[in-house]
Amino acid sequence: MNRDKLSSEDFSLEALRAGDKNEFARLVEAYSGVIYRLAIKMLENSQDAEDVLQETFIKAYRNLLRFDGRSSLSTWLYRIATNEALMLIRRRKHQTISIDEPLETDEQDQMPLQFTDWCCLPEEELMSTEAREYMDQAIDDLPYSLRVVFLLRDIEGLSTHETADVLELSEAAVKTRLSRARLRLREMLSEYYRDRLLSQDSVQGEKPQ
């Protein structure tokens, strides 16, 4: 969450298109934080994230004249950033990844297997440094097509409609991907917290009566 409260309407498209540096600097300051955070989570690497951040605003500056205003400026910036990140991942892994890659058809794949109720764990345990590292790793383990949807919807706080616009997917596809991403993350977190619950129980069991 923590979305910047400035919206696209707070910027003068006319000034941006005319090359007004003040207005462009304002745009950079307003959105560089969210773009950088998204890039870090997508790429797991701060150098790559910085490259994406720079390329996003360079491309935005060069293409402002072609920006048709059909989507909001923020959606447009997110779209440039996710495309840049995708290109970097392709180059890095020498493989083809596409946001519209088909999802696994195996329905069993998303069936929950973990049924431990770990909601009762204290917040300091749920948000410990180790737990946060595990949470980060769980995001990294998601396939790209699910990860990017989860990040845009649940971390950046975009609506289904905005996410669909950024990724040029249907809203139904965004919902399906979000559902799968969340269920997979829940599964991975459940494995981790189940062990925490078990170790908590065993420690309590060792206490003298």
Query: What residues line the site for another protein (CB under 8 A)?
Result: 1-4, 21-22, 24-25, 28-29, 32-34, 36-37, 40, 46, 50, 53-54, 57-58, 61, 107, 110-119, 126-127, 132, 135, 139, 154-155, 175-176, 178-179, 182-183, 185-186, 189-190
* Shortest Å, Cβ 109 to another protein: 11
CB of 18 to another protein, least distance (A): 16
- DSSP H/E element including 196: helix 171-206
Q: Tell the smallest beta-carbon distance from residue 3 to another protein (Å).
A: 8
Residues 58, 27: contact at Cβ < 8 Å? Answer: no
Q: How many helices (H) and strands (E) does the chain have?
A: 9, 0
The Cα-based distances of 194 to 120, 158, 179, 204 in angstroms read 11, 31, 22, 15
Q: Is 135 buried (19+), middle (13-18) or exposed (0-12) by CB count in 10 A?
A: middle
The number of angstroms, rounded, from the C-alpha of 157 to the middle of its chain's C-alpha atoms is 9
Q: How far is the CB of 85 from another protein (least distance, A)?
A: 16
Of 4 and 44, nearer to another protein (C-beta) is 4
Q: Nearer to another protein by C-beta: 22 or 209?
A: 22
